Structure 1
Amino acid sequence: MGEEKAEPKRRAASVLSAAKVKTAGPGKYHDGGGLGLILRVDPNGARFWVQRITVHGKRREIGLGSPPVVSLADARDAALANKKLLRTGADPLAEKRKSKESITFAEACEHYMASKLAEFDNDKHRKQWPATLNAYAKPKIGHLLVRAITTADVLRVLEPIWNEKNETASRLRGRIEAVLSWATVAGHRTGDNPARWAGNLKELLPKPSKVAKGDNQPALALGDVARWWSDLEKRDGMAAQALQFLTLTAARSGEVRGMVWDEVNLDPANSANPAKRTGLWTIPASRMKAGREHRVALTPEAVAILEAIPRMDGSPFVFFAARGGALSDMSISAVMRRMQESEEKAGRPGYLDPKNKRPAVPHGLRSTFRQWAAERGYPRDMAELALAHFIGSDVERAYQRSDMLERRRAMMADWGSFLCNKKSQANVIQIGQDSAHATMG
């Protein structure tokens, strides 16, 4: 059970420091202290903690992880724990193997995400990854050991949502596959990946292309817009104001909830006349689904909402929560849900999608805007740009450099008038005419 005899001779002169761990060049560096702890630095700069121990008369090495994830203090603690195991007659390597074999899916998710989430440039994706696993996978297989998870277990997670929420389910399947792939490489499981699509789940689940798109969000009927907007304007609270702003700009909920004041530029030219005050909201690429910067033309109605909102010291968010953070997605959805509940209590059907008869939700308002733009005769590309959708092929986008900002500003002003049930000031062609020749006054 003893250590190599040379170790005590190095103890006084070779104790490592945090600075040394960070700056040491290629080689092996003994920490001393009788724990057998060594920092190994490869020629490519990679750093690893190794502990040398003697088990049953044989010298062995145990990997303890890598800096900076495993700090010098952490490595010493792990090395000391192994020493204590040796004194009881146990084999630290055997105990480590047992630990690997007993990891659960929930634990594997945490390990995987700790190392992988930093690779995502988009903050939305960093949040979506754990959100879908927490919502759908962990409740059903989180407690299972990864080595015991089968295709049948993965199906228990996916089948309930495969038809209704196929896009979400498809992404979830890929995330489960990635976590289990990591578990295999890390030595926690062996064999085929039960979440693999090709030659596996593909034979058991309908193809995504054949599944009816169940993720389409219920939209507000155009005939209900004026009544719905009037109802919304009577409601107080930050979430209600955020919903008004979301509707006026046809933006996504996440874009509005994450909006910060640094992204807003209000035009001072008409500061004396609020009815003409306009502005610009520039959303950085990091916050956009398409991964590219998006400019939103702010109409006087949108500007009025921004100017009426108080600012919280220490919070950068325009629509802030009680403690200064961003509003939750549920807070905005709750406003529409309460509006629907009020309608139903009054004996009215409420605000239902004209096709699926489900209550309208915030994201469905984008579909309402798109239908309105089409029926008003606005050019397709202009409406798609307002929604921050990709238009045309890569070649077409390369030549189409303009985002039609000022023309979109007129369109959004017309949309605002429609919401408020005012007479439109825009001169737009009717359906059936050539939309390419529409004029936006």
Structure 2
Amino acid sequence: MPRLAKELSAIEVKRLKHSGGRGSDMTAVGGVSGLYMQLLPTGGRTWVLRTKVGLKSRDIGLGGYPEVSLAMARERAREAKDKIRQGVDPVEERKAARAALIAAHRRGLTFGDAIGKYAEAKLTNVGDRDRWVSSLERYARPHVGDMLVQDIAVQDVLRVLEPIWTSKTDTATRVRARMEAVLSWATVAGHRTGDNPARWGGNLKELLPVPSKVAKGSNQPALALADAPAWFADLRKREGMGSRALEFLALTAARSGEVRGATWDEIDLKAGLWVIPAARMKMEREHRVPLPAAAVKLLEALPRFEGNPLVFPAARGGQLSDMTLSATMKRMHEAEVEAERKGWLDSRNGRPAVPHGLRSTFRDWAAETGQPRDMAEIALAHNTGSDVERAYRRSDMVERRRAMMAEWAKFLGAV
């Protein structure tokens, strides 16, 4: 009858030390026959079960110490012996399970990889592709990027959307739509089956508040109309691509994303016209922007980079982040405060103005100077009139708006 090893306690196991030789020391710890602690010359410690599987002697690794405690090692050893008695080789079983997992991942597609594949297949415009990928990388990837598209469920989409649904409603709605598009592509491409968990109607609509409800009352702080010329003069003194993008945004009353994603092929300098494709617009329809002379002059002075179609590229070649423009305005405000002036504030709520608020400043100017309401709303790419009126309106009044934007640029002091 084989001699039984002394059953060591957890403290005794902890105190075990390597003998100092070059090889590994094997110390039986008792409790389960054949259970050893392997002491490595490097100081490492692992659990090993020495046993027979059929006619073969096997050393079965049970994990490292202290991640696997003495009690856990004994339990794992007993489970391995039970499997052997049932005719199962634990080592081969483990290899097969790992191989199956690797094969499943190779067959599957993670959401992070699906973003890139969708963009490559569907988005031919570099600006559109960068904008799509940037928003999903920022908001979706941290939550579901490593998940297989087949495994993504409604609750996973909610983990992406809920943190930004009420604070960044417009962004959240775009992220949801883009997740739906990526998952729809993944379904058709054979990487997943079943309903689309990012679908709005009859799905997320039942779990999240309607965007139009939560977006109300969240107006962005706008630059006071009286301060606009002085602010614009201050901006023009500043260098950097972010400052030029913000200057262009002010002159055109465009949205930050429209400016940051602008590409040279959208702009006709001779005609003084910027045509933003529907895919890049919030309302998903093409928008023509007549460029005042100051905006054309700004664009003509910008450097162009070979192989990069963006008008306002970041230092590393990609699209500027929204934070770049926001940071420029923040620094301008802070500089005013440091100079013991009030800074660039919203006259209604006293908060520092932000880039998106410049659109409100433009709208205030249009109202104060008697510009036709519909013309100002079209300049901002807002819906105007009823569905029927929009259906019958054929003109976007681009030439009349050209005169209006020239007056706006004159008001800002862009001469």
TM-score of the superposed pair, with normalisation by structure 2: 0.61
- Residue 285 of structure 1, aligned match among 265, 277, 282: 277
**Residue identity in the other structure for 2:230:** R
1:235 paired to 2:238: yes
Match of 2:247 in 1: 244
For the residues of structure 1 that align with 2:116 and 2:303, how far apart are their CA atoms? 37
1:253 paired to 2:256: yes
Match of 1:400 in 2: 393
1:409 paired to 2:402: yes
Deviations 1:40-83 (A, max 9, x none): xxxxxxxxxxxxxxxxxxxxxxxxxxxxxxxxxxxxxxxxxxxx
Give matches, 1:12-31, under 5 Å.
none
Q: CA deviation at 1:348?
A: 4.3
Q: CA deviation at 1:117?
A: 5.5
Distance 1:323 1:347, change over 3 A: same
Q: CA deviation at 1:388?
A: 3.4
Give matches, 1:188-207, under 5 Å.
195=198, 201-207=204-210
Is contact 1:147–1:189 with CA below 8 Å preserved after alignment? Answer: yes
Q: CA deviation at 1:391?
A: 3.5
Give the secondary structure class of the aligned counterpart of 1:282. strand
Distance 1:375 1:104, change over 3 A: farther
Distance 1:158 1:356, change over 3 A: farther
Distance 1:398 1:220, change over 3 A: same
Match of 1:264 in 2: 268
Q: How many residues align?
A: 323
1:379 paired to 2:359: no
Q: CA deviation at 1:379?
A: 0.6
Is contact 1:284–1:293 with CA below 8 Å preserved after alignment? Answer: yes
Is contact 1:112–1:182 with CA below 8 Å preserved after alignment? Answer: no
For the residues of structure 1 that align with 2:208 and 2:302, how far apart are their CA atoms? 49
**Residue identity in the other structure for 1:364:** G
For the residues of structure 1 that align with 2:204 and 2:341, how far apart are their CA atoms? 45
For the residues of structure 1 that align with 2:193 and 2:284, how far apart are their CA atoms? 37
Is contact 1:164–1:214 with CA below 8 Å preserved after alignment? Answer: no
**Residue identity in the other structure for 1:126:** R
Is contact 1:124–1:287 with CA below 8 Å preserved after alignment? Answer: no
Give the secondary structure class of the aligned counterpart of 1:161. coil
CA RMSD of aligned residues (A): 4.4
TM-score of the superposed pair, with normalisation by structure 1: 0.58
- Residue 135 of structure 1, aligned match among 138, 162, 170: 138
Match of 2:339 in 1: 346
Distance 1:307 1:282, change over 3 A: closer
Match of 2:173 in 1: 170
For the residues of structure 2 that align with 1:371 and 1:208, how far apart are their CA atoms? 25
1:219 paired to 2:222: yes
For the residues of structure 2 that align with 1:405 and 1:104, how far apart are their CA atoms? 52
Distance 1:102 1:320, change over 3 A: closer
Q: CA deviation at 1:340?
A: 2.0
Match of 2:164 in 1: 161
1:335 paired to 2:322: no
Give matches, 1:109-120, under 5 Å.
109-111=112-114, 113-115=116-118, 118-120=121-123
**Residue identity in the other structure for 2:214:** V
For the residues of structure 2 that align with 1:104 and 1:339, how far apart are their CA atoms? 52
Give the secondary structure class of the aligned counterpart of 1:296. strand
Distance 1:346 1:411, change over 3 A: same
Match of 2:41 in 1: none
Distance 1:98 1:334, change over 3 A: same
Q: CA deviation at 1:339?
A: 0.8
Is contact 1:261–1:317 with CA below 8 Å preserved after alignment? Answer: no
1:126 paired to 2:129: yes
Q: CA deviation at 1:308?
A: 4.1
1:108 paired to 2:111: yes
Could you list the runs of 5+ residues in structure 1 that have no partner in the other structure? 1-88, 267-278, 423-441
Q: Which moved more, 1:298-307 or 1:161-170?
A: 298-307
Could you list the runs of 5+ residues in structure 2 that have no partner in the other structure? 1-91
Is contact 2:118–2:185 with CA below 8 Å preserved after alignment? Answer: no
Deviations 1:73-113 (A, max 9, x none): xxxxxxxxxxxxxxxx99xx998864465589982342365
Deviations 1:201-251 (A, max 9, x none): 445433334324476433222132122112112212333233222212223
**Residue identity in the other structure for 2:295:** A
